[in-house]
C-alpha cells in the first residue's frame, strides 16, 4: 500500500473515531441539559450574563450576534436585554436550511418570532446584517474545552458560519460547568471560539 493510501486510511479511521466520540458526548450532555433543574439554569445563566458584561470585548462591541436559547442551554434573554439597554445592536442567526448556513438578522425589541428549522426561534421578518458589521458573536455549543474547541449539535451550521467570519470579529462560547470537558474531539472542519465563559 502506498504512503498516501496509508495516510488516507489513518485519517478516515481518526475521523470515524472522532464522530463516534462526538455522538456519545453529545447524547450525554444533551441529557444533562434536559434534566437540569430550572432554578439551577436560571442561577447559572445570571452568572454567565454578569461574566459576559464584564468582558472587554463585550464592552467595546457595538453589534453583537446572540443566539436564542434552545433545550436547556444557557438563557440568553437577559443578556440580550442588557445589551439593548447599553445601546448595542442585537442580531440572532436565521437558518438557511437548503444551504446549511446561518446569517445574522436584526432582532428588534418588538420582533415577532417564528419557529425555524430544528425548533429554533428566529425573527419572522428577516433583516440581514453584513458579516463585516459584527463585532462579537455569542456561540452556543453542546460542549467546549478551555482551548475553545467546540462540539455543536452535529449539523455544521456554526462551523460554516465561524469559518467565514472576519478575523476581527470576536467569538465567545457560553456553557454550564458540566459542558466543559478536558478536551473535545476535533475534526478538520471544526472551528474553535476565541473564549469560553462558563458557570
Residue 3, pLDDT above cutoff 50: no
First to last CA, the chain: 50
- CATH number of the CATH domain containing 15: 3.40.50.10420
Convert the pLDDT of each residue in 170-181 to its tens digit.
Answer: 999 999 999 999
Give percent of the chain above pLDDT 90. Answer: 76
Residue 31's domain comprises 3-198
From the CB of residue 129, how many other CB atoms can be counted at a distance below 10 Å?
Answer: 15
Asked whether the beta carbons of 77 and 67 are under 8 A apart, the reply is no
Residue 5, pLDDT above cutoff 80: no
pTM metric for this prediction: 0.89
Instruction: Give the pLDDT of residue 15.
Output: 60
Convert the pLDDT of each residue in 83-114 to its tens digit.
Answer: 999 999 999 999 987 777 899 999 998 889 99
What is the average pLDDT across 115-131?
91
| Number of domains the chain contains | 1
Amino acid at each position: 500500500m502506498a504512503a498516501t493510501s496509508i495516510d488516507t486510511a489513518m485519517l478516515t479511521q481518526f475521523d470515524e473515531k472522532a464522530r463516534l466520540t462526538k455522538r456519545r458526548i453529545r447524547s450525554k450532555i444533551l441529557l444533562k441539559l434536559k434534566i437540569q433543574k430550572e432554578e439551577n439554569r436560571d442561577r447559572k445563566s445570571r452568572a454567565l450574563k454578569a461574566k459576559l458584561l464584564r468582558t472587554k470585548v463585550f464592552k467595546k462591541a457595538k453589534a453583537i450576534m446572540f443566539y436564542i436559547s434552545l433545550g436547556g442551554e444557557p438563557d440568553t434573554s437577559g443578556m440580550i436585554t442588557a445589551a439593548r439597554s447599553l445601546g448595542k445592536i442585537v442580531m440572532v442567526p436565521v437558518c438557511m436550511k437548503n444551504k446549511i448556513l446561518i446569517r445574522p438578522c436584526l432582532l428588534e425589541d418588538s420582533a415577532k418570532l417564528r419557529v425555524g428549522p430544528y425548533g429554533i426561534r428566529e425573527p419572522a421578518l428577516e433583516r440581514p446584517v453584513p458579516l463585516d458589521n459584527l463585532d462579537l458573536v455569542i456561540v452556543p455549543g453542546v460542549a467546549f474545552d478551555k482551548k475553545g474547541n467546540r462540539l455543536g449539535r452535529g449539523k455544521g451550521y456554526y462551523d460554516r458560519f465561524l469559518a467565514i467570519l472576519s478575523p476581527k470579529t470576536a467569538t465567545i462560547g457560553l456553557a454550564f460547568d458540566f459542558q466543559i470537558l478536558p478536551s473535545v474531539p476535533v475534526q478538520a472542519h471544526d472551528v474553535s471560539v476565541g473564549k469560553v465563559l462558563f458557570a
